[in-house]
Amino acid sequence: MNLENILNNTLFTRDELIFLLSLEGDDMKKLLDRALEVKLREIGNEVYLRGLIEYSNVCVKSCLYCGVRSKNTNFNRYTLTDQEVIDCAKMAMDLNYGSLAIQSGERSDKNFTDKITYLLKEINTLSDGKLGITLSCGEQTPEVYREWFEAGAHRYLLRIESSNQELYYRIHPNDKTHNFQTRIDALNSLISIGYQAGTGVMIGLPFQTIENLADDLLFFKKLNVAMVGMGPFIPHSDTPLYEYKDLIAPDRQRLDLTLKMIACLRLLMPKINMVAATADQTLSPNGREEAVMAGANIIMPNLTPTKYREEYMIYPNKACVGDKPQECQGCLDNRMKSIDHKIGYNKWGDSKAFTNSK
Ligand code: 5AD
Ligand code: FES
């Protein structure tokens, strides 16, 4: 295959994606450079922020990779008070972040879903509708998704984790609460309700192949999502998947594979919003900047009160855990300037893929 020819394509075959995901050295650099060029042409050099509120680590699921899985009892469970959530939203406005992302362990009881509805309404009133809100609260019924949409959430992130059903069941318990088809149905329901829907996968999982990752990219394209958040897998010692940590590639290789996934997806879906994940920075100090230079355009600075952050250890060594929100803002501004990008303050930063599809 000829790299230069492939890089001029806008449509890619599965074999071409496998070829691109296998590049190394100078050839890999050509792929990343091409993705940056396409990003700058299609959506520019602005990076949008989603102030992240890690609302609760109480979770009914027990995903085999996740540190806050219900079966892990080595830490405290917390849920923010209403006032703490409101304070985070105020902080986001003070820092000129145009959007919030509310992420939580999964619960589907009515107390929880009602509470999220209430908080969405409060935040909307407080910000006079100026703060965009992304939710990431797992699988819910279409009725709950609709209720939250009507209460003011307009983006929803639900990672498929792997679009390969066999791999999905190797990284999730094989029971009623972890069902592949339920997750696909949930994604379709989010799209049909009118959310800007996002999904994503972990990269570098044990048992995962390059072919699986190429299929993940084609899955995003087929579903025509408006946003994607994907990042490297980081083994957590209190989870069952830790047993297979020797099967995974070294940190730098998993980060490179993540960068190649981002770059390929930028070529495949030029206008979507794509997150530079905090997990990228866990693997390398400038990991998020590298992701932005490979085609990502969203960053999620953490607004969670510092005292809870240690308890939201989905994976170990999360970046910025000890930082105050104000410190993150200055730091991020400088980091983006250093790579000729700018932050889109006070903007929702909607996916241009979504606006165009209406
Ligand atoms: N390493 C990297 N990412 C992880 N996630 C959960 N556990 C890990 C891990 N060990 C990601 C999942 C989930 C998101 C909240 O965090 O993709 O959707
Ligand atoms: Fe948090 Fe830099 S982004 S301190």
Which residue is closest in CA terms to ligand 2's atom 4?
A: 328
Residue 76 falls inside a structural domain: yes
State in Å: Cα 323 to ligand 2 middle: 7
**What is the position in ligand 2's atom list of the atom closest to the CA of 327?**
4
* Amino acid code (one letter) for 254: R
Domain assignment of residue 269, yes or no? yes
Ligand 1 test: best mutation among 304, 315, 317, 318, most atoms within 8 Å of CB?
315
What pLDDT was estimated at residue 255? 98
Provide the CATH number for the domain around residue 106.
Answer: 3.20.20.70
Q: Which ligand is located closest to the Cα atom of residue 325?
A: 2
Is residue 160, in this structure, part of any structural domain at all?
A: yes
Ligand 2 lining (C-beta closer than 6 Å):
301, 320, 323, 327-328, 331-332
Residue 149: what pLDDT?
98
Confirm whether 7 is domain-assigned: no
The answer to whether residue 143 sits within a structural domain is yes
Closest-lying ligand to the alpha carbon of 329?
A: 2
Q: Could you tell me if residue 330 is inside a domain?
A: yes
**What is the C-alpha separation between 322 and 149, in angstroms, rounded?**
33
Q: Is 353 in the pocket of ligand 1 (CB under 6 A)?
A: no
Q: What is the pLDDT of residue 356?
A: 47
**pTM check: above 0.85:** yes
Ligand 1: centre distance to CA 194 (Å): 25
Q: Is residue 4 in some structural domain?
A: no
1-11 pLDDT, tens digit per residue, is: 899 999 998 89
- Give me the pLDDT at residue 280, please: 97
pLDDT number for residue 12 = 96
**Entry field: residues in the chain:** 358
* Residue-level pLDDT at 354: 84
- Provide the residue range defining the domain that includes 102: 12-357
pLDDT 10s digit of each residue in the chain, 358 long? 899 999 998 899 999 999 999 999 999 999 999 999 999 999 999 999 999 999 999 999 999 999 999 999 999 999 999 999 999 999 999 999 999 999 999 999 999 999 999 999 999 999 999 999 999 999 999 999 999 999 999 999 999 999 999 999 999 999 999 999 999 999 999 999 999 999 999 999 999 999 999 999 999 999 999 999 999 999 999 999 999 999 999 999 999 999 999 999 999 999 999 999 999 999 999 999 999 999 999 999 999 999 999 899 999 988 888 888 888 888 999 999 999 999 999 999 998 888 644 3
299, β-bridge pairs? 49
Residue 122 lies in a domain: yes
Residue 315: what pLDDT?
93
Report the domain count for the chain: 1
pLDDT of residue 39: 98
